[in-house]
Amino acid sequence: MNIKSMTLTELTDAMKEMGQPAFRAKQVYTWLHRGVRSYDEMQNIPKELRSVLAEKYPIMTPRVMRKQESQKDGTIKYLWQLSDGNCIETVLMRYHYGNTVCISTEVGCLMGCVFCASTLGGLVRRLEPFEMLDEVLFTQVESGLPISHIVLMGIGEPLDNMQNVLRFLSLVNSPEGMNISMRHISLSTCGLVPKIDELAKEKLQITLSVSLHAPSDEIRDKIMPVNRAYPTDALLEACRRYYGQTNRRISFEYAMIDGVNDTEECARLLLKKLKGLPAHMNLIPLNRVEESPLKPSSRSAVMKFQKILEDGGVPATVRRTLGSDIDASCGQLRRKYTKEKQNES
Ligand code: SAH
């Protein structure tokens, strides 16, 4: 296992086997979670131990391939190259409540949602826990801005990489590491029902976001292939069970697509289906993706939709689009970069 994927307990055990006391493990762990690029930066670790560790557990770090900063709102997007050459993206958003990173959980995605750029090239591989940790660490290091919030809403489906994601959450939450509160973390899923049930058992204080995007199978089937495996009603039942287990209100995402899912009937059906489930609805005007003919709903359609939900007792906010001048949404930068590379060769 990569040293940065180890919990403090596991690292302590590994170092004990090397004849090292527990306090050393803690020192090394703290350095690693500050985003050092080499053991030589660990000033309070003896030189000999540093070279033994470097031999046994090489420190891998992502390389910045592109950095784009929005002139409008300060959003920064990083395209990283991982040790095996694959690229992923991380977005840093500056909200009034704190700096938030949106991280990728996989290289590419299997889910096939028709409006999403991340899935166009399929799934390449799942990220290791330390690679997700590195997204947070090195965004903080590179930007010089302290990170307090994390959303797992970048490239990939987090619940398709469940064990690694759970381990990442415990790493980033650890007091000797970044110590980011679970309440400051949101995880978004396209709706893998059995995995939602599994996650519920963990009873984490994170916010579960569910990408609903339609109130009925008729519409959802067309835009999200996952719906054929886990239909809308089964998904909403899983959300109710999740709430029952965790007592955490579910946050729903609803990308508003012109003429597809933005009618008043859709809003009313949604209200009916959400009855009795404590929820919050995030309405997101669709971000245009070059390869897709789908268009965002008009502003008036979004406002009307929001009003129907609010009047029906479901709090609904229209999400501000940050970074619209820098390809900041879901997989667009990675896609552009990969295409450029293909054209070059
Ligand atoms: N796989 C997870 C998390 C990644 S995507 C999921 O599906 O939830 C984060 C959110 O962005 C999801 O709600 C996704 O449906 C949405 N999204 C993807 N492409 C979009 C686009 N072009 N416009 C608006 N939202 C989009």
Q: What is the pLDDT of residues 91-100, one digit of tens each?
A: 999 999 999 9
Strands 87-95 and 123-126 come out as unpaired
Q: What is the pLDDT of residues 44-93, one digit of tens each?
A: 999 999 999 999 999 999 999 999 999 988 999 999 999 999 999 999 99
Q: Tell whether the model's pLDDT for residue 330 goes beyond 60.
A: no
Average pLDDT, integer, range 258-268: 98
The ligand 1 site (C-beta within 6 Å) comprises 111, 113, 115-116, 153, 157, 188-190, 211, 253, 255, 284, 286-287, 289, 329-330
- The separation between the first and the last C-alpha atoms of the chain, rounded to the nearest angstrom, is 34
User: Do 150 and 172 form a contact (C-beta atoms < 8 A)?
Assistant: yes
Distance in angstroms (rounded) separating the CA atoms of residues 185 and 154: 13
Q: Tell whether the model's pLDDT for residue 204 goes beyond 60.
A: yes
CA–centroid distance, 197 to ligand 1, in Å, is 21
User: Do 203 and 90 form a contact (C-beta atoms < 8 A)?
Assistant: no
Taking the CA atoms of 37, 85, 92 and 193 in sequence, report the sign of the dihedral they define: negative
Q: What is the pLDDT of residues 161-170, one digit of tens each?
A: 999 999 999 9
**Protein residue closest via CA to atom 20 of ligand 1:** 116
By most ligand atoms within 8 Å of CB, the mutation choice from 116, 161, 297 for ligand 1 is 116
| 127, two tokens | 């990220």
Residue 333 has what pLDDT? Answer: 72
Give helix 129-143 / helix 162-173 axis angle, nearest 10°: 40
Give helix 264-273 / helix 232-246 axis angle, nearest 10°: 50
Q: What is the pLDDT of residues 267-308, one digit of tens each?
A: 999 999 999 999 999 999 999 988 889 999 999 999 999 999
Amino acid at 298: S
Q: What is the pLDDT of residues 124-154, one digit of tens each?
A: 999 999 999 999 999 999 999 999 999 999 9
**Protein residue closest via CA to atom 21 of ligand 1:** 287
CA–centroid distance, 342 to ligand 1, in Å, is 25
**Protein residue closest via CA to atom 17 of ligand 1:** 116
Strands 87-95 and 185-189 come out as unpaired
**Protein residue closest via CA to atom 9 of ligand 1:** 153
Q: Where are the beta strands (DSSP E) in the chain?
A: 63-69, 76-81, 87-95, 98-102, 106-108, 123-126, 147-152, 185-189, 207-211, 250-256, 279-285, 316-318
Q: At 177, is the pLDDT very low, low, confident or very high (cuts 50, 70, 90)?
A: very high
pTM of the model: 0.95
Q: At 340, is the pLDDT very low, low, confident or very high (cuts 50, 70, 90)?
A: confident
Average pLDDT, integer, range 101-110: 98
Q: What percent of the chain has pLDDT over 70?
A: 96
Closest CA to 149 of 224, 214, 98, 111: 98
Strands 250-256 and 207-211 come out as parallel
Atom number in ligand 1 closest to CA 189: 8
CA–centroid distance, 100 to ligand 1, in Å, is 17
Residues recognised as catalytic: 89, 330
Phi-psi region of 276 (alpha: psi -120 to 50; beta: other; left: phi over 0): left
- How many Cβ atoms sit within 10 Å of the Cβ of residue 83? 14
